[in-house]
Structure 1
Amino acid sequence: MSQPPNQPPQPGGFGAPQDQPPGGFGAPQTPPPPQGAPQTPPPSGPPQPGYGYPQQPGPYAQPGPYNSGPYAQPQQPGPYGSQPGYGYPQQPTFPGGPGTPPPGGSGSRNPFKGRPALVIAAAVAALAVIGGTVWAVTGTGDDGEKKKPVAQKSDDAKPAASGGAPVNPGDGSGDGDEETADLNEGRQAGESKVLWYKEAPDAPGSGADAQGMWITDKTAVKAAYKQLFAYDVTDGKPTWAPITFPQKICAVTPEKTAQDKIVVAYMSGTSDRAECNQLQEIDLATGKQGWKQVVPDGELFDSTLSVELGVSGNTLMVARSQSGTAYDVTSGKKLYDKKRYGDACFPAGFAADATSLVQVASCGAGGDNEHDEVQGLDPKTGKVLWTYKYDKGWRVERAYSVAPLVVYATNEDKKVWNISSFTASGRVQAQVGVQEDFAPECGWAILERDLQGCTGVVVADNTLYLPTEATSGANEIVAVSLADGKEKWRVKSPVDETMLPMKAEGGRLIAYVEPSYDAGGQVVAIPTTGTAHTPAKLLQNPQGAADIEGSFYSRDIDWADGRFYIASTRLTGNDDAKEKLMLAYGK
């Protein structure tokens, strides 16, 4: 088994992808430990087939609207000629985690289907440094297509409401047409009810983003195109007047602050030179607009054409294409910049949670030392706390969690992926050794890495919960230990539809089961401890709303205080179809 060349030990652990042994990888197994170290027996089980080339049209082909229409992504020029990936940020080769969906819904095939490859030590002696068992696995999986409700546009020719709040009053009646006259009609005993339903404001023909959904104890706030809407969580009535920005919203903080504030970025104009650099703080409780800021451009090739926002404690990080600027989220005051460093390393993305901030850097573009690095940062000062270096050929795509840090990475050459968990000091704790086709729903980033743009993946209590791909009928949720990368348990969807984890609370995993042609969706609770993990139904949504529930063009989902929310994250701009904005269920 050959080792990657020229990889000395790195502070905080080793990240060298391991080469394929002759004959392909077999069942999960532990590499030989350093001389004199305790011997660890390999796990039992039948051998698994080695990996091959993905069986799909082209190595990275994505079905659906990525290849044509409004989501066809133009190639981004770079300062290094045709060198992809590192010289200039462009759309990622692999737009998400395993099972990354097109905007029309979940379930496009994974270009690394069934082919995990584990990031192991650069030298065998590194195993003495990395705490935790390391497995190397691979598999093949079948090529069946996932069956689920398809995002369909309504045949109703009535255009959506233009501007302002959606016209329906929030009682589940839509705007009074036959299709949505009463979404609770025929509701059966024990079923939940539609608390309210909102249609989207008008959007341009090229489409518009509707990113962001924030739920407080009283208010549900939704962004759509140029506006923010606020609805009472119980009846959908507006809690404050819609906020209309001068230009389209281009980025938002995914999570609200501890003070129920968010930050919205909107474009500086409408021309081709317009930038996503206007920041506005918003109070979710009142709709009051707080501080404003203009994000400056970075150096050459480092623009604010597109940005990503994240909040850690009182620090707001604004990520440009090749740098980041931190602000005090309570005042808008600039704190520090994160710029190029070392051997041509530039920040390519950031991930944040309430206490932690992580930076992913792209280094050595076009050279022998080309690689990605992950760094833990002090959110208050930007000081680097630790650095973890991946080997050449590996690209960090997603951070499934920040504290604890769980990273999904891909290798373009080997057509394999890796999921690793890290300790607080930046050492590899374990790597997922489960042979499976995982299918969280992940978004698409063009000029920067959308590290936290995935739903359908949960990390809690030292456990990673991932949905499998449903090739036909029901899928499963797999619980993976972050301590050793092994499967703890798995549970099948209670019906022949996809089940996605949403969040963990009270010793339970809360999951969403998608609707079918003759039944609404479900919200279920799965016990995370003990030996029984049977889903218990929390909500059974009414059949009368199943068509709307199952046909959001691109969606976000949430569960809060016993209510289930589903909302659009992208508007098509098609005036021949009424577009959906948000739907809320409860008892």
Structure 2
Amino acid sequence: MTQPPGQPPQGAFGAPQDQPPGGGFGAPQQPPAQGAFGAPQGVPQGTPPLPPRPPHQPQPGYGYPQQSAPGPYAQPPGPYGVPGPYGPQPGYGYPQQPQYLGGPGMPPPAGSGGGGPFKGRPALIVAAAVAGLLVVGGTVYAVTRGGDDGRKPVAQRSDDPKASGTPVDPGDGSGGGADPENLNAGRKSGEAKVLWYKSAPDAPAAGADAPGMWITGKTAVKAAYKQVFAYRVGSGDPAWAPITFPQKICAVTSQKSADDKVVVAYMNGTSDRAKCNQLQEIDLDTGRKGWTATVADGGLFDSALSIELTISGKTLMVGRSESGTAYDLGSGDKLYDKEKYGASCFPTAFAGGTDRLVEVASCGAGGSAEHDEISQLDPATGKVEWTQPVKKGWQVERTYSVDPLVVYMTNEEKNAWNISVLDGKGAFRSEVKVDEKFAPQCGWALLARDLQGCQGVAADANTLYLPTDVSGANEIVAISLADGKAKWRVKSPTDESMYPVKVEGGRLVAYVRPSYDAGGQVVSIPTTGSAHSTTRLLQNPQHTADIEDGFYDGAVDWVGGRFYLSSTRLTGSDDAKEKLMMAFGN
């Protein structure tokens, strides 16, 4: 293959070159099977029927049958330069299309992402989002956007020999009282307890977003529509009075800071021209409202209609569609702007870690040299530490991990995609070569790329953990970041899918979906050694499996021996009796 005109210089990440047919990044892919984590299993009694879901539409660069395409990086000598041994690879790493957890045949409300206890929204940038509309299948849909008792909980197996009928907090905001649904009455031997649950607040009939979930040693904090709620991790008692905003919440920092702070953005009005530009810092443990700020617009096509919030160390980066503004997370003082640079390069997305800030820029839009660039920034100053161009036609969609940096990219023209690993200096390190289809659960954004909008994927210094895309029992595959090959794989202990949650203490913690005759499970898998079987940490009750499985577009976390599950989208139905959040433990 000869080099197309207008490509990045030879030798950079993504430099064009001759490619063997059918090999490596961008090889022919098969569309993933539907029905991974979050497939309908059941619906709480009284949930009304929802409008029919539009037929599934293949998304360019994701679901179409893939064509052989050269990868976005310069392949080194060796196995990259000859045909095979990897050949056409069917669908590894494809972000799973959303599924609704509302019950058999129960689709999600129009205009919202799909679900499962991982945030599931189609990875698609919608040009019509400025008008708040999404066109699907010819139909227009509206689119919206440690223990508190002083003792440290210890993770342990659910082997309580006695059933318990201990009442739990019904979530009416009072922090105690009766348990009208008697959720613990039917708990069987060996099953975990429902520690507490919270009913969802009132929401508009069209539904509302409930983004974010943050767990500290004392509090479990959740945003929903116009409010932020906080509960004691052990009892579910209110930790502090809910914070209510004048307009709906439109963006949050997905991660909390090292000192348990987050930033929430809310709209400045209700009109079609309202912007997501009002920032509020919040202390998760005390509920203290810290600094506030108003995000300024950028250029003509760079307004704050939609923003993304990223924490990196002590820096908050606010990303617009074509620029970013950094704030000091402690004071709210503006630090710097990241704007257009070079040959029409516009920063379009950011991803942050403990002390790492990654920027993705779109360069030369509409021209022959159009391409993406990945840069690493000093979070405190915005200074560029390295930049790596990506070959023309490839777009950076996700970061499966920031440190180490693992990126997922697509090529719309070639209907192809790839997972690549970059080292600390931005050089290409490896690509995933496993002949498998993977299905992390990924979110989406209207006007900006949500680089960190994926759950169901985890990484440590040497390994990437991805779930296979299989209906029913799937596997988690551990992939070496050094060479992209599979190190080991573990099958789900039940007939339901299993997904990575996090890596801690030399083990991978994973969540196994509930089934019709059993609640979900939290399991651990050793990351080193020769034995890689699952050990059950928590077995959720069978009689609450429908409620657990009914969390729409949910988020999950495992902290201090407790499992937390919350919705990220409210239906707005007065009859649904939907839950906002649940906590399980021994």
TM-score tier by shorter-chain length is: 0.7 to 0.9
Equivalents in 2 of 1:153, 1:406: separation in Å? Answer: 35
Matching residue within 14, 18, 28 for 1:51: 28
Equivalents in 2 of 1:55, 1:494: separation in Å? Answer: 22
For 1:105, the equivalent position in structure 2 comes to none
What does the per-residue CA deviation read over 1:180-202, in whole Å, with 9 as the maximum and x for residues that have no partner?
A: x1112221222111000111101
For 1:152, the equivalent position in structure 2 comes to 103
* 1:91-490 alignment, distance < 5 Å: 111=63, 119=71, 121-122=73-74, 127=77, 137-140=87-90, 150-152=101-103, 166-167=171-172, 176=180, 181-471=181-471, 473-490=472-489
Q: Does the 8 Å contact 2:30/2:65 carry over to 1?
A: no
- Gaps (5+ residues) in structure 1? 30-48, 58-62, 73-91, 95-109, 156-164
For 1:526, the equivalent position in structure 2 comes to 525
Equivalents in 1 of 2:65, 2:105: separation in Å? Answer: 33
Equivalents in 2 of 1:308, 1:330: separation in Å? Answer: 19
Counterparts in 2 of 1:315 and 1:146: CA distance versus 1, 3 Å? closer
What does the per-residue CA deviation read over 1:309-358, in whole Å, with 9 as the maximum and x for residues that have no partner?
A: 01111110000111000000000000000001111110110000111001
Q: Does the 8 Å contact 2:29/2:88 carry over to 1?
A: no
What does the per-residue CA deviation read over 1:6-46, in whole Å, with 9 as the maximum and x for residues that have no partner?
A: 545467x422477764xx516x69xxxxxxxxxxxxxxxxx
Equivalents in 2 of 1:278, 1:147: separation in Å? Answer: 29
Equivalents in 2 of 1:571, 1:113: separation in Å? Answer: 34
Task: Quote how far apart the aligned CAs of 1:389 are.
Answer: 0.8
Q: Does the 8 Å contact 1:521/1:546 carry over to 2?
A: yes
Equivalents in 1 of 2:375, 2:316: separation in Å? Answer: 17
What does the per-residue CA deviation read over 1:177-223, in whole Å, with 9 as the maximum and x for residues that have no partner?
A: xxxx1112221222111000111101111211100100000100000
Equivalents in 2 of 1:494, 1:427: separation in Å? Answer: 38
Counterparts in 2 of 1:565 and 1:360: CA distance versus 1, 3 Å? same
Task: Quote how far apart the aligned CAs of 1:111 are.
Answer: 1.3
What does the per-residue CA deviation read over 1:493-551, in whole Å, with 9 as the maximum and x for residues that have no partner?
A: 00010100000111100000000001000000001111111000000001121110011
Partner SS, residue 380 of structure 2 = coil
Task: Quote how far apart the aligned CAs of 1:151 are.
Answer: 2.1
Partner SS, residue 119 of structure 1 = coil
Partner SS, residue 544 of structure 2 = helix
Task: Quote how far apart the aligned CAs of 1:70 are.
Answer: 11
Equivalents in 1 of 2:105, 2:289: separation in Å? Answer: 36
What does the per-residue CA deviation read over 1:228-255, in whole Å, with 9 as the maximum and x for residues that have no partner?
A: 0000000101010001011111111111
Q: TM-score if structure 1 supplies the norm length?
A: 0.79
Aligned AA (2:102) = A
Partner SS, residue 539 of structure 1 = strand
Aligned AA (1:402) = V
Q: Does the 8 Å contact 1:169/1:236 carry over to 2?
A: no
Q: Does the 8 Å contact 2:33/2:469 carry over to 1?
A: no
Equivalents in 2 of 1:324, 1:479: separation in Å? Answer: 35
Q: Does the 8 Å contact 1:434/1:486 carry over to 2?
A: yes
Q: TM-score if structure 2 supplies the norm length?
A: 0.79
Matched residue count:
500
Equivalents in 2 of 1:539, 1:171: separation in Å? Answer: 24
For 1:548, the equivalent position in structure 2 comes to 547
What does the per-residue CA deviation read over 1:353-384, in whole Å, with 9 as the maximum and x for residues that have no partner?
A: 11100100011111100111111111111111
What does the per-residue CA deviation read over 1:297-320, in whole Å, with 9 as the maximum and x for residues that have no partner?
A: 111110100100011111100001
Aligned AA (1:25) = G
Q: Does the 8 Å contact 1:149/1:516 carry over to 2?
A: no
Equivalents in 2 of 1:482, 1:118: separation in Å? Answer: 21
For 1:159, the equivalent position in structure 2 comes to none
What does the per-residue CA deviation read over 1:143-184, in whole Å, with 9 as the maximum and x for residues that have no partner?
A: 9x99998423999xxxxxxxxx9516556966x2xxxx1112
What's the % identity of the aligned pairs?
61
Q: Does the 8 Å contact 1:118/1:419 carry over to 2?
A: no
User: What is the CA RMSD across the aligned residues, in angstroms?
Assistant: 3.3
Task: Quote how far apart the aligned CAs of 1:392 are.
Answer: 1.1
Q: Does the 8 Å contact 1:115/1:417 carry over to 2?
A: no
Correspondence 1:25 to 2:22: yes
Partner SS, residue 545 of structure 2 = helix
Q: Does the 8 Å contact 1:371/1:395 carry over to 2?
A: yes
Aligned AA (2:470) = A
Equivalents in 2 of 1:382, 1:69: separation in Å? Answer: 47
Equivalents in 1 of 2:98, 2:267: separation in Å? Answer: 38
Counterparts in 2 of 1:327 and 1:120: CA distance versus 1, 3 Å? closer
